[in-house]
Structure formats: structure tokens, C-alpha cells
Structure 1
Amino acid sequence: MHDQLQRPRPRSSVQQPYGFLSYGRTPHVPASDGPADGRLLRFHAKLTEDVMALTDLDAKIPAVYLDRRIDLGSGWQDALKDHLARCQVLVPVLGPRLFTSDWCAVEWQCFQRRQQLQRDRGMFTRNAVVPVLWNPLKSEDIPSPYAELQYTHQDLGPHYAQDGLLGLLTSGRHTTVNRVVYQLARKIVEVAVGARLEPCDPALFDDLFDSLNGSAGEAH
């Protein structure tokens, strides 16, 4: 009898959502036929598709979390905190609306606090942030803390660095867009598996959310 074929056991997958898309909402324009942030929704759908294709993530788990709720009730905030406590990689969509969003600032602070908690436990964590250059921006246009991020790379190509993903989508450069989004998906997967950021108790973020409670500003 031949020995039973021994197959290598794959490294266990990261089964929390891989990415958390942090973005500043664009208000709906009454004269527009499309939904607000329609191009961002298309980007999110393609990014999710590519992350799913690159991983063995369970289909019941969102590959890249995107918050589309507009209510500011406690249930909405609890859900947001829960995803911030479990997602592996923060994916900030760099643009003026992100830079001026109080909610995006809190999402950044939550992720930094969570990473610091893991470092305090003696566990090395690479920076689990993969930015998306949405608007065409110069380095001097990007405020702290986002200014420290490496948001361009040779794999993403010169047109992405020049026009941002929004510019590529608007001008209909579908082949370039698909290549850029695929490379972003690869980077998210690489960082998620490399960082292995542990989930935390969502209560770790309570004070950050409390600071925004009662605000009459943006919904996200």
C-alpha cells in the first residue's frame, strides 16, 4: 500500500474583514442622477472582488468593510466600533473630504490605538494602513497624520500618482483602474497577513466616540 499523500497544511487565513475603508462622504447633488459617492462604490466593489479572489475569506465576511449607514443611533456606532476592532487593515481614501472629516479622524485614532495595544503586549505589528490616493494631491496637500504614509508605488503606475484613482475612473481608463485596484488589493492582503493585527474590545474606543456624540455634523 502506498503511503497516503501528505499535503502541506495551509497557513490559517485571516478571517476578520481584511480592510476598513475610511472615507469622507460626498453630499448628494440634487441635479445628479447617480448616487452620492457612486464612483467610490464602484471602486469598493472591484476592490472587494479582488481581495476575495486573492484569499480564502469566507463569503459571509465582508472583505473590505464600507459603512453606508447614515443614522447616528447607538446601534450604528456599536457596529462601527465592532468593525474597527476586528478589521485587519485601515484603508483611508486620501482626499479633502477625508482630511476634514471628524469621523475619519476618529477611525484613524481607533486603529492607531489598537496597533499600540498590540505593541504594548510585546507583539510586533507592521503599520497596518494601506492608503488610496483618491484625488490628485501633492505631498504638501496631505496633512498629518496622513502625510507620513507611502501612498504611491511603482506597481501602481505614474498615472495613478498624477491623477489619483478618481481621475482614472472619471476619464474612463478602465484597464489602468483595474490594474491599480488589483495592486491595492494585493497590498491589503499582504499587510493583513503580515501584521496579524489582533481583534480588541470595542470598548477601547468608547472615549473617542463619546467625543463626537451629539455632533450635528456629517453622518460619517
Structure 2
Amino acid sequence: MELTEATGEDPTAPYFFLSYARIPRTRPDDPDPDLWVHRLFHDLCEHIHNLTAHPGAPGFMDRAMQAGQIWSDELTESLGGCRVFVPLYSPRYFISPWCGKEWGAFTERRARHREQDERGTPSAIVPALWSPVPDRRLPDCVREVQYTHPELGDRYRTFGLYGLAKLRSFRSDYQKAVLRLAMRIVEVGESVVLERGARGGLSTAHDAFGAPPAGAPPSGRRLRISIAAGCLDELPEGRSPHYYGPTPLDWNPYRPASDRPLAEVAAGIAARLDFRPDVAEFDHTSAPADAPEVLLLDRWVLRDPQQRARLREFDGNDRPPTGLVVPWNDDDPDGDDTEHELAAQVDATLPRRARQAREASRPAVRGVPDERSFQEVLPRVVHWAEGQFLRRARPRTSSGQVTPRFRLGAPDGPNSYVGEHRPGAEKEDQNERA
């Protein structure tokens, strides 16, 4: 890396970093739902090429990266060296922990004005409105950042760049807005100097949007997703490194058919179900979740005695029932001779969780063979885990009284009636079944 003496900037780093919330495909063979974001990115790059003499790449967006170590390193380097951070505001953006981490990592870089006589707090964030977001839904950490850009026009504020790009009658409005956005990026890039970002990577960054913004869905719509998987530093016995990255969050069991870490796929599915996903590495010592929880288990870690001990302790804890999903790639050559051994180890290590998980979805425990199946199985497990969590959390009344239960934010309505609780009803049900 070569830094200029005058500013400490890396001339090989991209000029701007485009941060956006990916839209997950409903089915693997569907067209790319982020096609229009690609178009915006390429249009901005063309303008930055013509408006600057920057020797490096004009921009970076993570869609082109591969999963695992290379993807993580290049993204981290680009975020730590770019001049300008361009977040695409949308309803999905502020519920994405990945976008929150990108924002958090970038704002850790100290900024100063290039000219000493400049006033005000320097900032190298230039937001762009992709689709309208009510102000009440903005997290506190972004409310002071100007994003309406009056010079981009009234239609931009009304429809966002996505609306301008989709409607042929707004083509000229789109072109003007993108050019002016590029000019604003250059204006900021030439007036603000940033220190180089830390090399710790996004794995150490905090989610800047972690606290729910005002007007967000109630906290019951949060979802904890825990990942119990290997990584390059702790590779499971007999396992190829091809499916792993620097942390368990980089685990991708469905390579080469899928190029995304499973944690990212799961977070996208949860967001599509109107949950706010809280994705983290599995930690058997963590406090019980204050929200529904799903565990994504890499069977291969069960070959490690220490990992088995941690999972057994977790299985024995008095916690709300946890959804369990066990991905297993049928095309993975490593698994030809170990599938039955590792499947039996799931029941031996997590007997309670495995038994509960089969209530939600037997295929989830048997082994989910590909990403398409994962897209179908995970929603069933998530809704089962939510039902179990709400059932355990519902208020109890004196004997003989009936307590209606409501599922906040459930798919069939904001306050859907899902049953009632009467003390002793569970015992009566058991007697009837007997």
C-alpha cells in the first residue's frame, strides 16, 4: 500500500464505497433483485472517472466479492481506504446488521478538513435516497446527516433513485440526480481527509443501527441468529477450508452454488419476514435471548470435543426453545463417508434441541441440502421459535382466569390473536391425548 505524504491517503483505494442492503432472491433462479443498484454503481463510477484524476478504482460495492477470506479482506481494505462512504437509504438498510457494521466501521475513521479555515464538523458520508424512508425510522446516529440533497430535485425526494430509474418518463431526472450525486461525492472527497481504517475488519465493528429507531416494530420482532461453525483458524477435523472464512460468520456450506455466507443469507430471510436479525457467533455462556432464537449448526464442529461440550451445556440450559437448522450440502465431497456419523452426533449432543426442532421442521434437522431448501425451511423454523418464545413470555393470571395471547407483528396482522392461556390447560391437553 502506497500512501501519499501530503494526506496519508491510499491512491489505490476506491474513491467511494457504496453501502446498500441486498434484497434476497425469493428463488435461486430469479433475476438479480439488485440489478438497479448495479446500474447506479456503474453510472456513479463513470462520473467519478470523468470528474477526478483518482488513479485507483472509482468505487467499490461488495456484490462482486467472493465469500470467505478474499471477500472479507477486499471489502475491509476498501472500506478502510475509500475517501467517501455512500449509504443507499431504504427501509431494508436500517434493519441490516451488515450495513450497520459498515456504517460503524467507517465512522471510526477520524476525519478533518483539508483546508484549516473550514468550519463545521467534517464528514465524508454522502447518503443517497434509494427508496423513501420516514424520518421517524432513521436511527439516532444518522439523523444529523443530510440526505435529501435539494439540488437533486423534488422527484428524487419523492421517489428516490430507484423510482427515477424504473420510470422511463423520469429518465432525465435520474441522469441529473446521479450526476449531481457524483459531484457531491467529489466535493466531499476533495475537502475532507480521513485516517486509514483499522485492520480488524468488519468482524470487530459494531452495528451502528443496533438500537431500534423510533417507530420501528416492537422488540418482539427481533430475532437472534447464532452460528455454530468452524473457521479457518479452527478448521474441523477432515474438513476442507473451501467452505470457511476468518470467522464462523463467513461459513458457506453451499459453495460453489452459492457465493454468500450463510449468516448473510439467513439475515436476509429474517429481514424479509419483518424481523430485525441479530447475527452472532454461537456462545454457550451468553444470556438467554430476549427474542426468538435460531441456531445454525455446522455438523462438522461436532468432531471437536470442546465444541460438543459447549453445545451439550447449551442443550441442558433452561432457555426458551431454540430453532435448530442443520445445513448439509449433498454435493460436498467431504461428506460422502461422514454424513450418518455426524447426523447421529447431532442427536447425541443436542437431544433436547433436536427433539424440539423436529416439531418445527424435520428437514431442518435431517440436513438442508442447498440454499433453495434453506430459503424454504428457515421461515418455518423462525415462526415456530417465535411462537415458543411468546408462549413462554406470556403473562400468567390467577387460577381459572383466561389470558388472551397476541402475537405482535405476526404475519397475519400487527396484533394477531393466536390463542389463550388457562392455567392447567397443558395438563388437560396431555390427559386428552392420553
Fold shared per TM-score above 0.5 = yes
Q: Distance in 2 between matches of 1:71 and 1:31?
A: 17
Q: Which of 150, 156, 161 is equivalent to 1:154? A: 150
Contact 2:105 2:205 in 1 (8 A): yes
How is 1:89-100 mapped onto 2 (pairs within 5 angstroms)? Answer: 89-100=84-95
Alignment CA distance shift 1:167-1:56 (3 Å): same
Structure 2, unmatched stretches of 5+, are 1-5, 207-226, 228-246, 250-261, 269-434
Contact 2:87 2:128 in 1 (8 A): yes
Following TM superposition, by how much is the alpha carbon of 1:62 offset from its aligned partner in structure 2, in angstroms?
1.8
Q: Which of 76, 79, 83 is equivalent to 1:88? A: 83
Contact 2:102 2:202 in 1 (8 A): no
Moved more, 71-80 or 185-194: 71-80
Matching residue of 2:105: 110
Alignment CA distance shift 1:178-1:77 (3 Å): same
Matching residue of 1:6: none
RMSD (CA atoms): 3.0
Contact 1:14 1:57 in 2 (8 A): no
How is 1:131-210 mapped onto 2 (pairs within 5 angstroms)? Answer: 131-172=127-168, 173-203=170-200, 207-208=204-205
Q: Distance in 2 between matches of 1:24 and 1:201?
A: 23
Following TM superposition, by how much is the alpha carbon of 1:194 offset from its aligned partner in structure 2, in angstroms?
0.6
2:121 counterpart of 1:75: no
Following TM superposition, by how much is the alpha carbon of 1:144 offset from its aligned partner in structure 2, in angstroms?
3.0
Question: Could you tell me the percent identity over the aligned residues?
Answer: 33
Question: TM-score, structure 1 length as denominator?
Answer: 0.80
Q: Distance in 2 between matches of 1:149 and 1:96?
A: 17
Matching residue of 1:27: 24
- Per-residue CA distance 1:95-154 (angstroms, 9 max, x = gap): 122111111111111111112xx56xxx99711100010112221232232232211122
Structure 1, unmatched stretches of 5+, are 1-10
The number of equivalent residue pairs is: 202
Contact 2:73 2:201 in 1 (8 A): no
SS of the residue aligned with 1:114?
A: coil
Between the two structures, name the one with larger relative contact order (CA 8 Å, sep ≥ 6). 1
Quick check: which has more Rg, 1 or 2?
2
Contact 1:128 1:195 in 2 (8 A): yes
Amino acid in structure 2 at the alignment position of 1:90: F
Alignment CA distance shift 1:51-1:24 (3 Å): same
Q: Which of 257, 264, 268 is equivalent to 1:218? A: 264
Moved more, 27-36 or 126-135: 27-36
Following TM superposition, by how much is the alpha carbon of 1:160 offset from its aligned partner in structure 2, in angstroms?
0.5
Alignment CA distance shift 1:166-1:204 (3 Å): closer
Q: Which of 32, 36, 42 is equivalent to 2:33? A: 36
2:64 counterpart of 1:64: no
- Per-residue CA distance 1:11-59 (angstroms, 9 max, x = gap): 999833211000110112449863230011111111111111111122x
Give the number of the structure whose residues are more often strand, by fraction.
2
Amino acid in structure 2 at the alignment position of 1:148: E
Contact 1:136 1:167 in 2 (8 A): no
